[in-house]
Amino acid sequence: MDNTDDLGGDESDSERGRDGPDSYSGIEEVDSGNETDSGSESPNSDHCDFCRLPYPTDPVELECEDESYEFCTEACRDAMVENDRVFIEYHGFRRIRTGISGLDKYLPQGFPRNSFVLLANDEGARDDALRSELVWRALERNEPAAFVTFTEPPISVVESFLSLDWNVLPYLESGQLHIVDCFTYRMEGQDRERMFDRMDEWNRHIYDITRPVTQTVRDPSDVSELHNKLDNCLEGLRMSDCGVVVIDSLTEFGSLVQPVQAYSFVKDIRADICKGRFVPVFAGGTVTGEEKTFPNDLGYAVDGIVDMQVNPEIVADTLIKRIRIRKMNGVLAIPEWVAYEFTAGKGLVTFDPIAEMEKTYEETGDTYEEEAGDTYEGGGREDGEREDSGHEDGGHSDHESVPTEADQ
């Protein structure tokens, strides 16, 4: 789709309906877009000259300086007369890219900025690294970010970035990255003093940098205080129609409050931040055996779900991490499993485990079929399926599954 090339933070101003020189195009620019060089009508000639939406009924016309303009509504006509400007193109709810290739490949239209996305993860899926990368990519787009932590102190949050070769210290110092601390309430009085006493010089250095941009929640079980601290953080960042919010663990939060409070908090955050501010929220939630408990049963209340799985059946005696987009409202989402790992500097990297094994066996001269045992294509296999292992397209086959000789 043509619009996807314009997704992302680098051109955020031109995609928003804000006042400013980059937000709108002058009427002259619209004139040149309505006709081709040969004088024939452009493909968008049946679109409103203000909002760029197609008009399903007879257009509202306006004559201005010997030029004729057509609009889908009188409101659009009046808005152009009042502002003397028009939108360059229509994007609906502004869509953006995550900046993570392993996700963006399966979201060809991007995802709506006003989305609440649940990161449903198995233990050991390295969901912490995914959250760090979501924040890092936003910072790279020059957008603000807020990190809400229930499971780690702010110093450990910073270290998770540094371990992936992402230096967030300049963003902390400039105030572009803020942290909402819902962890250190556990260390009161002498425990907190001992924590500071035990810090080495490096950790003290990180602490000194993070302290000015950290909002500490004294009692995370007080949902009102938590909500207020988060709102103060976003106000300080002037976060509206830009930025990203990451919550490390709804599972931990759910252990602090009653179920009805947990559900209400998620719904309120979605309404206030995602729908009210047009700021996406990515919240982690560890998958447990109890599927009908918070946050595993939030599918109906969230806009998107990303599954992160640790699968022992793809390759014998090996745990392979897989990721997929299970759900994303408002855009095309390709729900295919793909194997992944995180590497320093690059972040999430996808790969085909079967192709990697075949390459290894070719180098050693061993026979892949004899040694590999029951293995499955590229991380894209559901339990109970076997796929043809002849594909080398990264594990995503367009062909139907076929039985192997063992099945026959």
Q: Is the pLDDT of residue 403 over 80?
A: no
**pLDDT of 376 over the 50 cut:** no
The pLDDT of 268-293, averaged and rounded, is 89
Our measurement of the distance from residue 343's CA atom to the centroid of its chain's CA atoms, rounded to an integer in Å, reads 19
What integer is the mean pLDDT of 189-193? 67
Is the Cβ–Cβ distance between 109 and 331 less than 8 Å?
yes
Quick one: pLDDT at residue 290?
A: 65
pLDDT band at 37 (very low <50, low <70, confident <90, very high): very low
The tokens for 2 are: 């043509």
Residue 243 in this model has a pLDDT that exceeds 90: yes
- The model's confidence at residue 236, banded by pLDDT at 50, 70 and 90, is very high
Question: Which residue has 């990519």 as its token pair?
Answer: 137
The pLDDT score that the predictor gives to residue 17 is 38
Question: In the block, which residue shows the tokens 């309404």?
Answer: 271
> pLDDT, tens digit, for every residue of 133-160?
999 999 999 999 999 999 999 999 999 9
Top mean pLDDT of 89-93, 279-283, 352-356, 364-368 is at 279-283
- Separation between Cα atoms, residue 368 and residue 172, nearest integer Å: 49
pLDDT for 368:
52
Q: Please write the tens of the pLDDT for every residue from 40-77.
A: 444 456 888 888 888 889 999 988 878 888 889 999 88
Of the pLDDT bands very low, low, confident and very high (cuts 50, 70, 90), residue 19 is very low
What stretch(es) of the chain map to CATH 3.40.50.300?
A: 122-299
pLDDT at 14 over 50: no
pLDDT in tens, 335-365: 999 999 999 999 999 999 888 888 777 777 6
Q: With b meaning 16 or more CB within 10 Å and e meaning fewer, what string describes 158-188? A: bebbeebebebeebbeeebbbbbbbbbeeee
Q: Domain 122-299 in CATH: superfamily?
A: P-loop containing nucleotide triphosphate hydrolases (3.40.50.300)
* Mean pLDDT of the residues in the chain: 80
- Encode pLDDT of 313-329 as tens digits: 888 888 999 999 999 99
For the record, the structure tokens of 247 come out as: 């919550």
Question: Looking at residue 393, what is its pLDDT?
Answer: 44
- Three-state SS string over the chain comes to CHHHHHCCHHHHHHHCCCCCCCCEEEHHHHHHHHECCCCCECCCCCECCCCCCECCCCCEEEEECCEEEEECCHHHHHHHHHHCEEECCCCCCCEECCCCHHHHCCCCCCEECCCEEEEEECCCCCHHHHHHHHHHHHHHCCCCEEEEECCCCHHHHHHHHHCCCCCCHHHHHHCCEEEEECCHHHCCCHHHHHHHHHCCHHHHHHHHHHHHHEEECCCCCCHHHHHHHHHHHHHHCCCCCCCEEEECCHHHHHCCCCHHHHHHHHHHHHHHHHHHHCCCEEEEEECCCCCCCCCCCCCCCCCEEEEEEEEEEEECCEEEEEEEEEEECCCCCCCCCEEEEEECCCEEEEECHHHHHHHHHHHHCCCHHHHHCCCCCCCCCCCCCCCCCCCCCCCCCCCCCCCCCCCC
Whole-number Å distance between alpha carbons of 324 and 337? 5
Choose the weakest-confidence range: 131-135, 289-293, 391-395. Answer: 391-395
Going 11 to 73 to 329 to 333, the CA torsion angle's sign is negative
